[in-house]
A and B are shown apart, each in its own frame.
Chain A
C-alpha cells in the first residue's frame, strides 16, 4: 500500500494519491505511517530523480501537488494523532522586486518537503512579513530577491523582524540570483541556498534546529 501511495506521488496523480489515502485511513492504517512511508517516501524518490536529471520541474510540481492533495486528506487524521509536522514557512519576494519564478519553485519544493507554505507574493514590504509571522507563527521566513538593487530590502526585513521581537522565534532563509552565503551572513540570515531544491533541504535543517 505504501508503495502505491508513493508511486501516485511520483507520477503526480493527485486523484489516485487522495483515493489511496482514504482507503488506507478507512482500513485503519496509522496516519503518521501513511505520511512517512507513502507521501514523504514518494517525494524522496522525486527529489533523487530530480537531482539525477531523470525528472524535471513540471513533473516535480505535479508530484508536489499530488503530495499536497494527499496531505489534505490526511490532515484531519494527523491533527488527531498529534503527529509532528514540519510546520509553516512564510515566504515572499522582498520589497521593490516583482520576480517570482524562483520563489514559486522554492514553494513547490517546500511543500514537497512537507511544509505548509504561506506565500505573501511579490514586492512584500517588511511590515507584511512581520504581520504574517505574528499571525501564522511559522518556523521559517524565506526571502527572495533577484535584483542587486533589492537585496538591501532583505536586510531591512530581518531588522523589522528583530524590532518586532520575532527574530528568535523564526529561522530566516534567503536566496535569489545575486545572493551569496557571504551576503546572508552579513545581513544576519540563518541560512542561504543557491537553488530551490537545496532551499527546501536547508529549510528542513533550519526548522529542526528551532
Chain B
C-alpha cells in the first residue's frame, strides 16, 4: 500500500460539503464586479442584497460536473507537463515575500529584480521543485507593475511552469501579451499553457473586482486557473477549523462556478490557504499544526469533488532555516502530501511567507525529496522479501556485497543531497558545518549547472517593451 493521511471522515467531508452549499445558497457571496454578477445571475444565481449573489446547489453541482480531474500544466523546451491530479505531488514556491536573505552575505534586505531572476534560475535546476510562483515582490520596479516583472523574470529564466497573480484586467492583458510573445502566439500558448493564473477570493465570502476580471479573462482564453481561499480562522473566519474550512470551500466553489459559466472547459485547480490567526501576535501562522490539518482537509474536499488541488505547504513561521523551520516545513508538507495535495507551494519561504531564503531553497528541495520517498512507500513481494537470500546468509550473514543489495538499494533507500549522515569525527574534521553552509555550497553548484533558455533573439526586449508601454500609458 501507499501511505496516506486524512483528518476528516467521509461523513465529515459530506457535512462540510453540505454546509458550504448552504452558505452559498442562503448567505451568498459578495461579487464586486457587475459583469461577474450579471454572468452568474444569467446562469441561474439569485440576486441578493447589494452586490450579494446566492448560488443554488444545482449551479454549483453543474460547475463541478464540468471539471476535469487532471489538469496539465506545461513547462517549456521539452519538459514533460505536470499532470496535476490523482495522487501526484508537485512542489513549488509561493508568493510574495518582501524580504530576501542574501545567501552570499547573510543580510536580510528588500528584494531586487535580480534576486527574482536568480530564484527563477535556481528553480530551473532543482530536481524536486516542479513549478514557480515568483516568490518575491522586487522593490526596484514600479509597484503597480510588480506582477508584470514577476512574470517576466520567471518566464525568461526558467523552463518550469509559472503560476502567478495578475493585477486585474490590465495586468492580465499584459501577461497574455508577454506569454504569447514567448510562446510564439496566443494559440501556441493556449495549446500548451506554461502559465496558470493565481486567483484569491477575499474572505469572508467576497470576490473582488480584480479576482473576477482575472477569472473571466482566463476562462475566456482557457488558461488554467488556480483558485484559492485563505480565510484566517479567528479573524476573517470563525475560529473553529470546521467553519473556516467551510468558508474557504464555499469561496473556492463560487470562483469555480464563475469560471465554468464563462467557459465550461477551462481547467481549474482547487486551492487553499485557509489558516489561523496567532492569538498572541495577531499574525497569521503558516507553520501551525492547524495549517497542516486545514491543508489535509481541503485536499479531502477537492478529492471529494474530483478536482486537482493545491495550496500552501512546506511553510514555516521561523525567519531563518532553523530547527523550527525544519519541523514546521516537514509537517506542513508531509501531511498534505500524504492526503494527496497535488501542488505544494512554499519552497524557500520563511517567516510566514514574508522572507525568502535561497539557501532554504536547497533545503526544501531536500525536504521535498524526503516527502516523495515516503509517498512512494515500499513494496512487499517475493523479490523484496528475499527469503532465499536470508536463508542463504543465515544467522551472522552479511548483505553489503550481495547482488540483491546492488540491485535494490537505490530504489529502497532515498539518497539525500544535503542531509548530514556523516560520522561525528569526520564531520568535526570537516569544519562541523550545519545544513545552511552545505545549502550555500549546493546553491553555488546548482547555479553553475544552469543554462539560459533558448529564446529567439530580441524576446527579452519585446517583453520589456510590453511593460514599458503600460508604464507610459500610466504616466
A56 touches B137 (CB 8 A): no
CB-CB under 8 A from B146, the residues of chain A are 149
* Complexed CA–CA distance, A196 and B280 (Å): 10
Judging by beta carbons under 8 Å apart, are A149 and B280 in contact? Answer: no
| A101 x B137 contact (CB < 8 A) | no
For residue A152, give the distance in angstroms from its CB to the closest CB of chain B: 8
Q: How far is the CA of A195 from the CA of B281 in the complex (A)?
A: 7
Residue pair A148, B279 in contact (C-beta under 8 Å): no
A interface SS class: helix
Q: Are A101 and B277 within 8 A (Cβ)? A: yes
Whether A148 lies near B282 (C-beta < 8 A) is no
Q: Of A57, A101, A148, A177, which one neighbours B280 at CB under 8 angstroms?
A: A57
B183 in the interface, Cβ–Cβ < 8 Å?
A: no
Q: Is the CB of A148 within 8 A of B235?
A: no
Number of A-B contacts (CB under 8 A): 34
CB-based contact A101/B143 at 8 Å: no
Interface residues of A in 44-58 (CB under 8 A from B): 50, 53, 56-58
B144 at the interface (CB under 8 A from A): yes
Contact indicator B282/A102 (Cβ below 8 Å): yes
The yes or no answer to B139 lying at the interface (CB within 8 A) is: yes
CA distance A195 to B146 in the complex (A): 27
Measured between alpha carbons, how far is A148 from B354 in the docked complex, in Å? 11
Q: Mark A90-105, 1 if CB is under 8 A from B, else 0.
A: 0000000000011001
| Interface size grouping (class) on chain B | 10 to 19
Is B282 a contact partner of A101 (Cβ separation < 8 A)?
yes
* A57 and B139 form a contact (CB under 8 A): no
Does the CB pair A57–B279 fall under 8 Å? yes
Assess whether B98 is in contact with A195, with CB atoms less than 8 Å apart. no
How many angstroms from the CA of A88 to the CA of B469 in the assembled complex?
A: 47
Q: Which of B139, B239, B277 has a CB less than 8 Å from the CB of A148?
A: B139
CB distance from B341 to the nearest CB of A (A): 26
Neighbour of B282 across the interface among A53, A105, A149, A152, CB < 8 A: A105
- Contact string, B275-317, partner A, CB cutoff 8 A, digits 1/0? 0010111100000000000000000000000000000000000
Closest CB in chain B relative to A159 CB, distance in Å: 18
Q: Report how far A53 CA is from B280 CA in the complex, Å.
A: 7
Residues of A within 8 A of B236 (CB): 101
Closest chain A CB from B201 CB (angstroms): 14
The answer, yes or no, to whether A188 is at the interface (CB within 8 Å) is: no
Q: Judging by beta carbons under 8 Å apart, are A196 and B98 in contact? A: no
Residues of B within 8 A of A58 (CB): 234, 239, 279
CB distance from B471 to the nearest CB of A (A): 15
| With known contacts A101-B277, A149-B146, A57–B282 Cβ distance under 8 A | yes
Scan B57-92; emit 1 where CB is below 8 A from any A CB, else 0: 000000000000000000000000000000000000
Q: Which residue of B lies closest to A102 (CB)?
A: B282
Q: Tell me the A149-207 residues at the B interface (CB within 8 Å).
A: 149, 152, 177-178, 195-196
Give the chain B neighbours of A177 by CB distance below 8 A.
Answer: 98, 354
Kindly report which residue of chain A lies nearest to residue B281, judged by CB atoms. A195
- CB-CB under 8 A from B139, the residues of chain A are 148
Asked whether any CB of chain A lies closer than 8 Å to the CB of B232, the reply is: yes
Chain A residue nearest in CB terms to B235:
A101
Q: Which of B143, B234, B282, B354 is the most central at the interface, judged by chain A CB atoms within 10 Å of its CB? A: B282
Q: Are B143 and A56 in contact (CB under 8 A)?
A: no
CB distance from A60 to the nearest CB of B (A): 9
Contact of A56 with B232 at beta-carbon distance under 8 Å, contacts A148-B98, A149-B144 already known: no
- 6 tightest A-B CB contacts, nearest first: A56-B279, A149-B143, A57-B279, A105-B282, A101-B235, A148-B98
Q: List 19 A-B contacts (CB under 8 A).
A: A50-B280, A56-B280, A57-B279, A58-B239, A58-B279, A101-B232, A101-B235, A101-B236, A101-B277, A101-B282, A148-B110, A148-B137, A149-B137, A149-B144, A152-B143, A177-B98, A177-B354, A195-B281, A195-B282
